[in-house]
Amino acid sequence: MSDSSIRYAAPGRINLIGEHTDYNLGFALPIALPQRTVVTFTPDGSEAITVGSDHADRSVRIPLDTAPGGVAGWAGYVAGVMWALRQSGHPVPGGAMSITSDVEMGSGLASSAALECAALGAIASAAGVRIDPKEQARLAQRAENDYVGAPTGLLDQLASLFGEPSTALLVDFRDLTIAPVGFDPDAGGVALLLIDSRARHRHAGGDYAARRASCERAAAALKSSLREVQDRGPSALAAVTDPVDARRARHVLTENRRVLDLVAALGDSDFTEAGRIFTASHVSMRDDFEITTEHIDLIADTATRAGALGARMTGGGFGGCVIALVPGDRAEAVGEAVRRAVRDAGFEQPVITRTRAAAGAGPCG
């Protein structure tokens, strides 16, 4: 690494609760993960950034004046950040960029947001530009929405940028406030298990977009955002005549309530109640929002039957990961029960790790 090189890291995230609430102006409660994407950027005064990754066979040359449609695949996230920065009037120097990451791609751990935030931090640092973290999140989201074409909310970027050790982040997407919530289950003798199903999802596909469109139709029928009717509960959805749209909206309203209930449970260090809320969230995602899969349901149900306090899918859906709160002395037994059930069903073996809340994005030495 040369003297002029910048190294910047950003973590993946898991969402403890609050799925598909972000673009509905609701609440979510993510944590940053220990797994990180590290970008090393060496500016050289050229008219492009040439980017390579430890997950790719060849490097990609991205012109500084790249525009949506110019770069596809994994490098599109870097190109999107470059485009979003320039669109906002920020300088983007040419140079060479290398990427290393242990945030598993396609697993629902926000590998794309980790890459966006790390690349953005490195480029801005090299250009000598200071950007407010919330504006960084918006720029990274713009890269993903308008360059890559994935209609995601701000949850992933905010979690990656604002994460703190032993802390969850209560995000209110109506006014974009972020409040720290203590989250240290290990101190209470409870393990947070991250169960990677190894079933990969694709957000840029139609399923995520279809759920978002359904929520937008429900909001249009109500003549307000789903957040505005939050305090009235599911009975407020009587004006939504399409039964599928009504179910989607019911998930959002009940999920927002579960986020706040989980914050209260964590405030009391009541992990039994927290586990119950996890499981209720999974049921809502399965039955009302319909974003789980048979594979994911098997993992969550098996974990709970084997002694977990609760379990739920985390992330946008259609694959990815399950999280479970498990008494520390049951963690091995729950993991083994999940592996056995998944093996018997003929699915790929999951990767099960004990995880924790970690620090957010920043420069690294």
Catalytic residues, by residue number, are 156
Residue 96 tokens, joined: 């060479």
Residue 32 tokens, joined: 């940053």
User: What is the C-alpha separation between 170 and 68, in angstroms, rounded?
Assistant: 32
* 355 touches 195 (CB < 8 A): no
Residues in the chain: 365
User: What is the C-alpha separation between 126 and 104, in angstroms, rounded?
Assistant: 27
User: What is the C-alpha separation between 122 and 23, in angstroms, rounded?
Assistant: 27
- Closest Cα partner for 95 from 70, 69, 131, 59? 59
User: What is the C-alpha separation between 299 and 313, in angstroms, rounded?
Assistant: 9
Burial class (CB in 10 A: 0-12, 13-18, 19+), 205: exposed
User: What is the C-alpha separation between 177 and 27, in angstroms, rounded?
Assistant: 10
Compute and round to an integer the Cα radius of gyration of the chain: 20
Dihedral-angle region of residue 290 (phi above 0 means left; psi in -120 to 50 means alpha; beta otherwise): left
* 285 touches 292 (CB < 8 A): yes
